[in-house]
Structure 1
Amino acid sequence: MRWVSTVTAAAIGAGVVAGPVAAATPSAAAPQRGEAVTSTVHCTSKDRELAKKLSDDIAGALASRKSMASLSFYDRPTKTRCTSDAAKKYDSASVAKTIILAALLYEKGGTLTEAEDALARKMITESDNASATTLWKQLSDLTDPAKPNPVKIQEFLDKAGMDHTVLDQEGSWGLTQVTADDQAKLLRLFSGDDDAVLGSKARAYALGLMNHVQSTQRWGATAGAPLDSVIQVKNGWMQRSQNADVESFDRGDWKVNSMAVLTENGYDSGLAILTENNRVPEGHPAKEGWDYGIKTIETVSRTIYRDIYPGAEGYDPSGPSSPATEPSTAK
């Protein structure tokens, strides 16, 4: 693997960066607990110039945003991988539904009942919360019904090596803690050919549901994806409340997450982007924080696909109309 080139774009002031090529360019800066946060973009590829361009361009895209963002990207054909703060934990919102789906398929050996199929389809294609809650409970120890312990989901995470994902033990699946790296690992599992965790039937089923997510929820990590690829996506979002039990830095901000995988016609890549601290300016509509998170994700997504697939006509999401149907308590 000595031919793999490594490029790092570090935040200004981060000091000297080791590696064949280093670029000191600004990355994400965002207020959390009143402090600016910087992160590093790190790319590897068999193409040294591509690694450098991706690293610099992603850092530039993040530098223009005020919210916090983490990402993990892979492209199998070019042996390219990019990460930025990919081990940081975020509230999952509805991207947890991909974990619930994978755990269900793992538990059932890829063969679902008619009722389970109906729940899984609503959960992924419509992002239905009630369906997710039903399946979460099905995969839980219900000794204490008030606190369903998702033991079967944990078994899947252990098998899949998603070691940094922390399931919510109070039954609030949307508050499960996820990382960009673990979500990208799940995408690689869905789009790969290894039967050790999920068989081919289960993997195809998962991708099929993500391919049929309704049009108003196909924004985010799909932006700029080549039109001749098959695009699979799952998004999640929620606005934290202003309640006193929510940490002050977190009150009222939006968590906006997106994950997409491209397959067929020679494409084989996955992208997971997680964001938080998407603020709503005082006196402004709540939707502005949600829109800001989506814009952050799509800015990075377009940057990555433009560099990986230069000249390809990119997908332009129609965009959602309103987050009103996504309750903050579950998303």
Structure 2
Amino acid sequence: MAIRSVSRARVLVPVGLLVAAGAVAAALQGQSGGVESRSQMSVVADTTSSAPPVVTPATAAPTPTATPTAVPAPAATAGAAAAALHSAVDRAEGAVSVAVTDLDTGQSLSYGGPGHDFATASIVKLDILAALLLRTQDLGTTPTAAQRDLATTMIENSDNDSATGLWDEIGADPGLDAANARFGLTATEAGQDGYWGLTSTTADDQLRLLRQVFTDESLLSATSRAYIQGLLDEVEEDQRWGVGAAASNGGYEVKNGWLPRDTDGLWVINSIGRVERDGHQLLIAVVSDGNSTDTDGMDLVESVARAAAEAVTGS
């Protein structure tokens, strides 16, 4: 993979489940010790012990085209999904967290990285764009041609200079924090002194941001959401890794983040987006840090995304 625009941003990543949720949660709870030990190896030490994944309905009711019928999966299937997810998370060299929501069934899962704050790296560029569009909506305007040009290169090419330009347009860190408070993000803090890539976040918060982009339970207008989705769908080919690995038919929109930390050279690797899997629309956020190489981090993120998607959908 050609690494582009890595001079300022940094990166990292959460999990979710569907039917027979109790069986999967119980199976993972019995294996949580390994996850905790891996989490404590991260660049920023965890202070909270690892907790079993919590599978819950979505906070707001989904709007499927037909009423879904939940057929409990066999315990063996749930156990296999739990084992696969645990195995994927446990192989992390540092910390990893995943959060997933199935927009068709309303089932959600969050797993890994308890008490850990992850640097966003370039996934914050999606947040910057959402904040910009919210700002223009408040003003009763639309993005200027210059802002749209910056947004295109920021999202499709992950260009850092474009991100800095729009960071200034939204009012820098106070502007991002204000927008995120309105979006319902509770554990994200904007980077200081222009270091937008050092914004700290969690997988759960990134899932909340994705809901603002991909559902109508959002402060963003339908036009704003469609605009963002169109840019995510055109991310350049060498950046189309990450959560898209969970898609069953190649359909996904993604924004990734990657960067070695200056202090130790270990990599932050994150991926967020929407994927289509066996007729389900999934929102997935995976954040990670402490990876020895960028390739190792990308492999980790993709394996965790696949395992989490299987746990949520049962397929």
Q: Read off the aligned partner of 2:252 and give its amino acid letter.
A: I
Q: SS of the residue aligned with 1:27? A: helix
Instruction: Kindly provide the amino acid, as one letter, of the partner of residue 297 in structure 1.
Output: V
CA distance, structure 2, for counterparts of residue 209 and residue 55 of structure 1: 34
Q: Offset at 1:133?
A: 0.2
Correspondences of 1:202-241 after superposition (within 5 Å): 202-227=224-249, 230-241=251-262
C-alpha deviation, 1:44, in angstroms? 2.0
In the superposition, relative to structure 1, how do residues 304 and 8 fare at CA in structure 2: closer, same or farther (>3 Å)?
closer
Counterparts of 2:205 and 2:259, CA distance in 1: 20
**Local SS of the residue matching 1:293:** helix
Residue identity over aligned pairs, in percent, reads 29
Q: Residue 306 of structure 2 aligns with which residue?
A: 302
Structure 1 residues 62 and 192, CA gap change in structure 2 (3 angstroms): same
| Number of matched pairs | 272
Structure-2 change in CA distance of 1:48 and 1:80 (3 Å): farther
Contact 2:246 2:277 in 1 (8 A): no
What do the CA deviations read for 1:2-52 (whole angstroms, capped 9, x no partner)?
x9944565xxxxxxxxx7x76412436152369799734414266654765
Match of 2:170 in 1: 139
Matched AA of 1:296: L
Task: Give the structure 2 partner of residue 24 of structure 1.
Answer: 30
Residues 248 and 278 of structure 2 are in contact (CA less than 8 Å); yes or no, is this contact kept in structure 1?
no
Q: 2:91 aligns with which of 64, 67, 75?
A: 64
Amino acid at match of 2:248: P
For 1:65 and 1:154, the matched residues in 2 are separated by 30
TM-score (norm 2): 0.77
Higher relative contact order (CA closer than 8 Å, sequence separation 6+)? 2
The residue type equivalent to 2:100 in the other structure is F
Deviations 1:297-321 (A, max 9, x none): 111122233455566xxxxxxxxxx
The change in CA–CA distance for 1:88 and 1:22 in structure 2 (over 3 A counts) is closer
Q: Which runs of 5+ in 1 are unaligned?
A: 10-18, 141-148, 280-288, 312-331
CA shift at 1:108, angstroms? 0.7
Which structure's residues are more often strand, by fraction?
A: 1
- Decide which structure has the larger Cα Rg and report it: 1
Cα distance in 1, alignment partners of residues 173 and 143 from structure 2: 19
> Deviation of residue 175 (structure 1)?
0.5
- Give the letter aligned to residue 30 of structure 2: A
Amino acid paired to 2:301: I
Aligned match of 2:63? none
Matched, 1:116 2:147: yes
Distance 1:205 1:86, change over 3 A: farther
Q: Cα distance 1:67–1:33, how it changes in 2: closer, same or farther (>3 A)? A: closer
Note the residue ranges of structure 2 that are not aligned, 5 or more in a row. Answer: 1-18, 57-69
Residue identity in the other structure for 2:99: S
Whether the 8 Å CA contact 1:41–1:58 is kept in 2: the answer is no
Q: Secondary structure at the match of 1:273?
A: strand
**One-letter identity of the residue aligned with 2:84:** D
Structure-1-length-normalised TM-score: 0.73
Q: Could you say if the C-alpha distance between residues 260 and 309 of structure 1 is closer, same or farther in structure 2, counting changes exceeding 3 Å?
A: same
- Show the counterpart of 1:159: 182
The alignment partner of 1:223 has SS state of helix
User: Residue 277 in 1 paired to residue 283 in 2?
Assistant: no
Shift in Å, 1:89: 1.1
Equivalent-residue separation in structure 2 for 1:86 and 1:75 (angstroms) = 22
